[in-house]
C-alpha cells in the first residue's frame, strides 16, 4: 500500500498518528502510562472505566507499537474504504472496547492485572478484513503465505487457547474479544460479506 492510499483513509491515518504520538510520549512518562493503562484494580475500586479506551492508545515499547501499527497500516485503509470513514472508526472503537471487556471479565479477580496496547482493536480490523477478502493472501510472520481467513481463524483459535493457558505477558484475552467483535459486526451489518465468503469457498470445492 502506498502513502496516497493512506491519505484517502482519514480514520486510519488519524488512528495511526494518535497511537504513535501518544505512545511515544508515554515511553518516557510513567505518570501518563499509569493514568491511561488498563488496570483491573483501579477500574473496580475507583470506577475508572475510561481505561478500557485510553489503554488502547499506549504501548509497552517501540516493537509493540510497530507491529500493531503495521497491521493497521496495511488493513485499515481497505476496511475503511468498504465501511466508510465514520463507520470504520466506530467499528475500531467497538473492537477496542470489546477486547477490554473480555480482558476485564477474564481477569476480574486479579486486582493487579494491567495491560496496554491497540491489539484488541487491530485484531477486530484484521478479522473484519478477512470477512471482506477471505482469500486474499498475506504473509504470516512475514514468511508464510496463507489466505487471510485462514490466518484469522488460526489467530482466534490460538488466542482462545492462550488466554487460558499461556503466561507470556501478552493480552490474549483482548485479542480474542476484539477479533470476535470484528466478525460479529460484519455478520450483523454486512451480511453480504458472509454470503460472499461462503460462495468463494463453495466455488473452491466445486473445482
Q: Give the position of cell 490474549.
A: 172
Distance of alpha carbon 115 from alpha carbon 182, whole angstroms: 20
Strand runs labelled E in 127-167: 137-140, 144-147
Rounded Cα distance between 114 and 185, Å, is: 27
pTM, to two decimals: 0.93
Q: Residue 79: in which H helix or E strand, if any?
A: helix 62-83
115 DSSP 8-state letter: E
Give the pLDDT of residue 207.
60
Q: Which residues of the chain have pLDDT under 50?
A: none
The cell for 21 is 504520538
pLDDT of residue 201: 72
- In whole angstroms, give the CA distance from residue 174 to residue 123: 9
What pLDDT is recorded for position 197?
Answer: 81
Residue 28: what pLDDT? 92
Domains of the chain: 3-206 (1.20.1540.10)
Strand ranges (DSSP E) for 119-184?
137-140, 144-147
CA distance 173 to 15: 22
pLDDT on residue 167: 77
Output the pLDDT for position 199: 82
Which grid coordinates are listed for 41? 484494580
pLDDT of residue 2: 63
- Residue 130 Cα distances to 36, 149, 166, angstroms: 30, 5, 25
**CB distance 101 to 61 below 8 Å:** no
Amino acid at each position: 500500500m502506498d502513502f496516497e492510499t493512506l491519505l484517502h483513509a482519514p480514520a486510519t491515518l488519524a488512528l495511526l498518528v494518535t497511537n504513535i504520538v501518544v505512545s511515544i510520549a508515554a515511553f518516557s512518562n510513567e505518570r501518563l502510562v499509569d493514568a491511561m493503562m488498563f488496570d483491573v484494580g483501579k477500574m473496580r475500586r475507583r470506577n475508572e472505566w475510561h481505561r478500557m479506551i485510553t489503554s488502547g492508545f499506549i504501548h509497552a515499547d517501540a516493537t509493540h507499537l510497530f507491529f500493531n501499527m503495521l497491521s493497521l497500516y496495511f488493513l485499515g485503509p481497505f476496511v475503511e474504504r468498504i465501511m466508510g470513514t465514520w463507520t470504520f472508526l466506530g467499528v475500531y472503537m467497538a473492537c477496542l472496547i470489546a477486547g477490554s471487556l473480555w480482558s476485564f471479565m477474564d481477569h476480574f479477580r486479579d486486582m493487579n492485572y494491567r495491560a496496554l496496547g491497540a491489539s484488541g482493536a487491530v485484531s477486530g480490523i484484521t478479522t473484519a478484513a478477512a470477512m471482506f477478502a477471505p482469500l486474499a493472501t498475506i504473509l504470516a510472520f512475514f514468511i508464510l503465505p496463507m489466505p487471510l481467513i485462514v490466518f484469522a481463524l488460526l489467530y482466534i483459535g490460538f488466542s482462545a487457547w492462550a488466554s487460558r493457558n499461556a503466561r507470556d505477558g501478552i493480552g490474549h484475552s483482548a485479542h480474542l474479544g476484539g477479533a470476535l467483535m470484528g466478525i460479529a459486526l460484519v455478520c450483523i451489518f454486512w451480511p453480504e460479506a458472509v454470503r460472499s465468503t461462503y460462495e468463494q469457498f463453495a466455488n473452491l470445492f466445486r473445482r
